[in-house]
Structure 1
Amino acid sequence: MNTTAPKAYALAYLREVDLGPEIVEYIERIDETLAPYGGRFLVHGGRITPAEGEWDGDIVIIEFPSAAAAEEWYASPGYQAILPLRTEHSQSIAAVVEGVPEGYRAVDKLAVLLAG
């Protein structure tokens, strides 16, 4: 069994972004906040092809080696210093979500769901 902690992802859904100097500064500075925590962009506002529902914004997904690393990044002084540049100039929601271990299958979730 794989005992390595699964990767984690910082997710954001951004709507009504005011692409002014504050957002430009946020984008220019975010990479330097990610590096110490092993974060890397997987998705950064790429083209969305809706399959269900209405998508009226941009998606950002940043991968981290663990949930702890993602949470430490979000709480870090470096990221907290630039966070208002995004939150005060866009409508957005964000979260950290833990990934699944290597070899995971959807049916593995049944054991968790049915045990509770």
Structure 2
Amino acid sequence: MSAYAIAHLRHVEWGPDIVTYIQEITDTLDAHGGRFLVHGDNPVVMEGPFPGHLVVIEFPSMDQARAWYQSDAYQAILPLRTQNADGATVLVQGVAPGYRASELLAKH
């Protein structure tokens, strides 16, 4: 089942470090089957405040998403983003094909 790395970047300080990060991140994804679904586009906000932009990266599984984030290759460039951008990053598990929202009720 797919998993996703999602970042809500509220502010980015554009400079050489961010440029290097952007130039190198794709190479860190390849070994883990990651691919960008959303990258840097400003969302159309329908409800509530949402400053900044969103990044969504898809992985074949949560194990591969974790392996990417913890990889030496990604950890080497991570400070280039964290020291120059304000935001939050999460890894989330996707749902199976045919999933219905009511399935969540069984967990509560």
The two structures share one fold, judged by TM-score above 0.5: yes
1:69 corresponds to 2:48: no
SS in structure 1 at match of 2:87: strand
CA RMSD of aligned residues (A): 0.7
Question: Residues of 2 paired with 1:61 and 1:91: CA distance?
Answer: 16
Partner in structure 1 of residue 93 of structure 2: 98
CA contact (8 A) 2:42 2:54 kept: no
Runs of 5+ unmatched residues, structure 1: 1-5
Task: Give CA deviations for 1:47-83 in whole Å, capped at 9, x if unaligned.
Answer: 3111111111110000000000000000000000000
Residue of structure 2 equivalent to 1:3: none
Q: Match of 1:48?
A: 43
Q: Give the Å deviation of 1:103.
A: 1.1
Give the distance between the partners of 1:62 and 1:26, measured in 2 at CA. Answer: 15
TM (norm. structure 2) is 0.97
Report the TM-score, using the length of structure 1 for normalisation.
Answer: 0.90
The one-letter code matched in structure 2 to 1:66 is S
Q: Which runs of 5+ in 2 are unaligned?
A: none
**Could you tell me how far apart the structure 2 residues matched to 1:86 and 1:9 are?**
18
Query: SS of the residue aligned with 1:37?
Result: coil
Residue 30 of structure 1 deviates from its aligned partner by 0.2
1:57 aligns with 2:65: no
| Partner of residue 7 from structure 1, selected from 2, 27, 34 | 2
For the pair shown, which has the larger CA radius of gyration, 1 or 2? Answer: 1
Aligned residue for 1:111, secondary structure, equals helix
What amino acid sits opposite 2:28 in the alignment? T
Q: Larger % of strand: which?
A: 2
Aligned counterpart in structure 2 of residue 25 of structure 1, from 12, 20, 23 = 20
Tell me which stretches of 4 or more aligned residues in structure 1 moved more than 4 Å: none
Question: What is the number of equivalent residue pairs in this alignment?
Answer: 108
